[in-house]
Amino acid sequence: MIDPPASEGAAAPQRLRTLDAVRGVAVMGILLLNIIDFAMPGYAEIDPTFYGGSTGANWWEWAIAYAIGDGKFRGLFTMMFGASTLLIADRALLSGQQPAKVHYARMATLLVFGMVHAYLIWAGDILVLYALTGMIAFIGWRVRPRMLVTIGMLLLAFKLTDGLVAYQHLERARVASIQPNPEPNLAADWRAFRQQSDPQRDGIARELAGYRGSYGDALKVRVPTAIFFQTIINRIAFIDTLALMLIGMALFRWGFFSGAWSRRAYWLIAAAVPVAWAGYIPLVSWLDATHWAPLTMIATEAIQLSLLRPWLSLGYAALVILFVQSGRLPWLADRFAATGRTAFSNYLGTSIVCTLIFNGYGLGWYGYLQRWQCLIVVAGMWLLMLAWSKPWLDRFAYGPFEWLWRSAARGHWQEFRRMRQVANVSQ
């Protein structure tokens, strides 16, 4: 890890243009994977043979999205969440407030937003996970950056070890199960794994009927899916989410997100991008060769989650920071930053718009697009995010959902229109 002076970029808890731009790219990028879950039965997100096409352009869409987008922008968004936690805590301290009180009020209201989002709009919500993990991550507010990074790396190392050990054990169980006289315990473990992990293709018709039907029909499918996410998926994702939040906190203290590092340092981090992409070639080949077997996914997920995703997330952040600092296309840098300042509204807004596009109570496109065609919707949503965010912030102090979140966390309505804020300051 490159160690710039700890004082750089960490003392003044002010809004940072580079931080906003990185967050903007992150919230845009997570749609690359989420779009599949919006558009078709959810398991297709990780297994293209499940639905949406797995040959030709559809295979390439999966492979490119897997290598470039799968978990990387979410990882970056998670790091930014950790950085923002410290930014807001520091600002609260400077303004004479209690940082812990401000933080936990924000997390409590975020949890409410997440529950509403998961059950009433889209089951693939990450806000509940962020709220619960953020309540624990706040302990790192006063912890030294080196310790935060150490803890984060240990947590990722644990995930890697746990995944590879599980893979090794289940591979032994698989081999034992096909022997003439299999060891009973190993055979039982393999049967249990198959029952729990094999994709339930008979559920495709249920999802198609539910999400192509009325809002009530969609709700009947969404609620059990949301429960599964919150009780199973979030529990599995907790450790790596906490790890990345802590690493994001450390990077904020070190001035990484504020652009305080040298251009050489950022280029060194950015160099990880092509190296990590190359590391995905054997993973893609392995998954394809085993037809996306759940057992293979255990190993590939452990490897990419701990060894590849974090470096790609950091590499993407470094590239965005270098772009903002270059001064090239300043209008685009401003649009990225505005998208980041309204990231909460863009995240929730994307769910609202995409469910209206795909669900039956909207345009009803659910299950009709192939994988590659979903990228057209992604491009349209990116243009929409870049188009509305800056003009909105020219007139208003916050994005609409940022304002609602802030008002709920503070317990009173916040100033909304930018002109009113300027008038109050002048008085």
Task: Spell out the per-residue pLDDT of the chain, length 427, in tens.
Answer: 333 333 333 333 334 899 999 999 999 999 999 999 999 998 999 999 999 999 999 999 999 999 999 999 999 999 999 999 999 999 999 999 999 999 999 999 999 999 999 999 999 999 999 999 999 999 999 999 999 999 999 999 999 999 999 999 999 999 999 888 888 899 999 999 998 888 888 889 999 999 999 999 999 999 999 999 999 999 999 999 999 999 999 999 999 999 999 999 999 999 999 999 999 999 999 999 999 999 999 999 999 999 999 999 999 999 999 999 999 999 999 999 999 999 999 999 999 999 999 999 999 999 999 999 999 999 999 999 999 999 999 999 999 999 999 999 999 999 988 754 443 433 3
Phi-psi category of 9—alpha, beta or left, where left has phi over 0 and alpha has psi -120 to 50?
left
Report the pLDDT value the prediction gives residue 182, as an integer from 0 to 100. Answer: 83
Tell me the whole-structure pTM to 2 decimals: 0.92
Q: For residue 219, give the amino acid letter.
A: L
Nearest 5°: the CA angle 204, 290, 224 is: 30
Which residue has tokens 């470094």? 318
| 238 vs 137: CA distance, rounded Å | 11
Buried b (16+ CB within 10 A) or exposed e, 40-56: bbbbbbbbbbbbbbbee
Looking at residue 215, the DSSP 8-state letter turns out to be H
Query: What is the H or E stretch that residue 354 is in?
Result: helix 343-358
Report the pLDDT value the prediction gives residue 419, as an integer from 0 to 100. Answer: 59
| 424 vs 415: CA distance, rounded Å | 10
Phi-psi category of 22—alpha, beta or left, where left has phi over 0 and alpha has psi -120 to 50?
alpha
Report the pLDDT value the prediction gives residue 418, as an integer from 0 to 100. Answer: 78
Report the pLDDT value the prediction gives residue 200, as an integer from 0 to 100. Answer: 85
Query: What is the H or E stretch that residue 289 is in?
Result: helix 272-289
| 191 vs 359: CA distance, rounded Å | 36
Report the pLDDT value the prediction gives residue 7, as an integer from 0 to 100. Answer: 33
347, two tokens: 């995240």
Report the pLDDT value the prediction gives residue 99, as an integer from 0 to 100. Answer: 95
CB 117 within 8 A of CB 125: yes
Beta bridge pairs of residue 417: 396
222, two tokens: 């969404």
Residues 6+ apart with CB under 8 A from 364: 212, 358
Report the pLDDT value the prediction gives residue 179, as an integer from 0 to 100. Answer: 87
CB 66 within 8 A of CB 299: no
CB 316 within 8 A of CB 72: yes
281, two tokens: 């070639």
CB 304 within 8 A of CB 280: yes
| 35 vs 42: CA distance, rounded Å | 10
Backbone torsions φ then ψ of 417, nearest 5 degrees: -75, 135
Report the pLDDT value the prediction gives residue 337, as an integer from 0 to 100. Answer: 96
